[in-house]
């Protein structure tokens, strides 16, 4: 029968496309298989219906199923099963609810310049003015780190945590969460100038990618002096054992 031939040929090609996945463990992506099968079915259909007799013969079983009065039982069963099948396929394809996609950028690109303390700071090339002490005067550097620690524990600990892991007392009430400074994928990836921008400008200074929720990070320009900001940055890196990225790498 021609209809069986049609189905058999298509099944053969389907098996051929599935074979690499089943036999060699290297499956062809299902979207590619769907696309190929579309062209194969259409081509086989074209070839098999190229003459009128061929077409009649191919569709005869379908026509008799739909028109022949003696086959009304089979027809009724088909007309019940078809919509149920369609409903099930829609149900299963839509049944996996995915959480909404989070578009927030945790580290949005900084602006070119930051206005603070009555000056404009070009962020490009901006260095921590206290950083050279680390090499030139280790004792003075240690003192700066200690003072930076005082700034931290007086102002930042409630949100960023006593261990600098972003788990301060207030952290749970926030969305976005306070950033941890521990771990090698946090401030170790940032330059000190980036932290300077984030600390003096805070959540209100974030560009749109920092949304949609408003960050609770305060802008510290009015509370801390410029030197205190650079000191607390020294402390955050020192305490967590991270190195800031420099302009050279
Ligand atoms: C009221 C809670 C709160 C306080 C207090 C607070 N922060 Fe934040 N901070 C946040 C939140 C929330 C974020 C994450 C959202 C964002 O990036 O703005 C954040 C982000 C940051 C970032 C960006 C880190 C990154 O990886 O991009 C830095 C740097 C920072 N805070 C430093 C400080 C310093 C230094 C202090 C103290 C002087 C401080 N924060 C005090 C809530 C706070």
Distance CA 27, CA 140 (A): 63
pLDDT for 198: 96
Q: Once rounded to an integer, what is the mean pLDDT over residues 131-147? A: 96
Q: Are residues 177 and 209 in the same domain?
A: yes
Q: Is 179 in contact with 240 (CB distance < 8 Å)?
A: no
Q: Is 123 in contact with 111 (CB distance < 8 Å)?
A: yes
Nearest CA to ligand 1 atom 24: 179
Q: Are residues 134 and 172 in the same domain?
A: yes
Confidence class for position 241, pLDDT limits 50, 70, 90: very high
Q: Are residues 120 and 89 in the same domain?
A: no
Q: Which of 38, 63, 94 is the last residue of a domain?
A: 94
For residue 199, give the nearest of 163, 177, 173, 225 by alpha carbon.
225
Q: Once rounded to an integer, what is the mean pLDDT over residues 184-188? A: 89
Looking at the 3D structure of the chain, how many domains does it have?
A: 2
Q: Once rounded to an integer, what is the mean pLDDT over residues 217-245? A: 96
Pocket lining: 154 vs ligand 1, CB cutoff 6 Å: no
**42 is a domain residue:** yes
In the predicted model, what is the mean pLDDT of the chain? 90
Determine the distance separating the centroid of ligand 1 and the alpha carbon of 139, expressed in angstroms. 28
Pocket lining: 215 vs ligand 1, CB cutoff 6 Å: yes
Q: Are residues 76 and 192 in the same domain?
A: no
* Distance of alpha carbon 238 from the chain centroid: 31
Task: Please tell me which residue, 209 or 158, carries the higher pLDDT value.
Answer: 158
Q: Are residues 198 and 236 in the same domain?
A: yes
Q: Are residues 172 and 235 in the same domain?
A: yes
pLDDT for 34: 92
pLDDT for 11: 95
Pocket lining: 107 vs ligand 1, CB cutoff 6 Å: yes
Pocket test for ligand 1, best of 153, 160, 186, 216 (most atoms within 8 A of CB): 160
pLDDT for 140: 96
pLDDT for 144: 97
Residue 190 has pLDDT above 90, yes or no: yes
pLDDT for 16: 93
Confidence class for position 65, pLDDT limits 50, 70, 90: confident
Least reliable range by pLDDT among 72-76, 133-137, 206-210: 206-210
- Say which residue the tokens 């989070």 belong to: 102
Angle subtended at Cα 217 by Cα 216 and Cα 220, rounded to the nearest 5 degrees: 135
**106 is a domain residue:** no
Q: Are residues 145 and 53 in the same domain?
A: no
pLDDT for 170: 94
**53 is a domain residue:** yes
Angle subtended at Cα 130 by Cα 128 and Cα 136, rounded to the nearest 5 degrees: 125
Q: Once rounded to an integer, what is the mean pLDDT over residues 200-208? A: 90
Pocket lining: 218 vs ligand 1, CB cutoff 6 Å: yes
Residue pLDDT, tens place only, 97-106: 776 666 778 8
**245 is a domain residue:** no
Confidence class for position 80, pLDDT limits 50, 70, 90: very high
Q: Report the CATH number at residue 191.
A: 1.10.760
Pocket test for ligand 1, best of 107, 153, 159, 185 (most atoms within 8 A of CB): 159
Q: Are residues 81 and 171 in the same domain?
A: no
Distance CA 161, CA 170 (A): 9
Determine the distance separating the centroid of ligand 1 and the alpha carbon of 183, expressed in angstroms. 16
Q: For residue 212, what are the domain limits?
A: 116-240
Distance CA 133, CA 36 (A): 66
Q: Are residues 79 and 120 in the same domain?
A: no
Determine the distance separating the centroid of ligand 1 and the alpha carbon of 181, expressed in angstroms. 10
Most confident of 58-72, 83-97, 165-179: 165-179
Q: Is 11 in contact with 5 (CB distance < 8 Å)?
A: no
Residue 158 has pLDDT above 90, yes or no: yes
Determine the distance separating the centroid of ligand 1 and the alpha carbon of 179, expressed in angstroms. 6
Q: Are residues 234 and 128 in the same domain?
A: yes
> In this structure, what token pair is assigned to residue 188?
């170790």
pLDDT for 95: 64
Residue pLDDT, tens place only, 3-56: 889 999 999 999 999 998 888 888 888 889 999 999 999 999 999 999 998 888
């Amino acid at each position: 029968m021609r209809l069986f031939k049609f189905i058999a040929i298509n099944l053969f090609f389907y098996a051929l496309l599935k074979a690499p996945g089943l036999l060699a463990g290297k499956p062809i992506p299902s979207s590619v298989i769907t696309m190929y099968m579309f062209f194969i079915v259409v081509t086989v259909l074209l070839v098999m219906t190229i003459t009128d007799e061929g077409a009649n013969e191919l569709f005869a079983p379908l026509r008799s199923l739909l028109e022949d009065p003696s086959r009304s039982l089979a027809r009724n069963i088909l007309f019940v099963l078809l919509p149920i099948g369609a409903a099930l396929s829609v149900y299963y394809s839509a049944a996996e609810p995915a959480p909404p996609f989070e578009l927030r950028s945790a580290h949005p690109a900084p602006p070119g310049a930051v206005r603070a303390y009555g000056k404009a700071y070009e962020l490009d090339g901006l260095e921590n003015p206290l950083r050279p002490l680390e090499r030139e005067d280790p004792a003075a550097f240690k003192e700066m780190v200690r003072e930076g620690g005082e700034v931290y524990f007086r102002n930042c600990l409630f949100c960023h945590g006593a261990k600098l892991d972003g788990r301060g007392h207030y952290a749970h009430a926030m969305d976005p969460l306070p950033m941890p400074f521990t771990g090698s994928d946090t401030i170790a990836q940032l330059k000190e100038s980036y932290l300077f921008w984030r600390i003096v400008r805070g959540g209100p200074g974030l560009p749109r990618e920092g949304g949609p929720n408003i960050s609770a990070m305060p802008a510290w320009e009015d509370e801390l002096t410029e030197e205190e900001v650079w000191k607390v940055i020294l402390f955050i890196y020192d305490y967590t054992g991270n190195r800031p990225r420099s302009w050279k790498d």
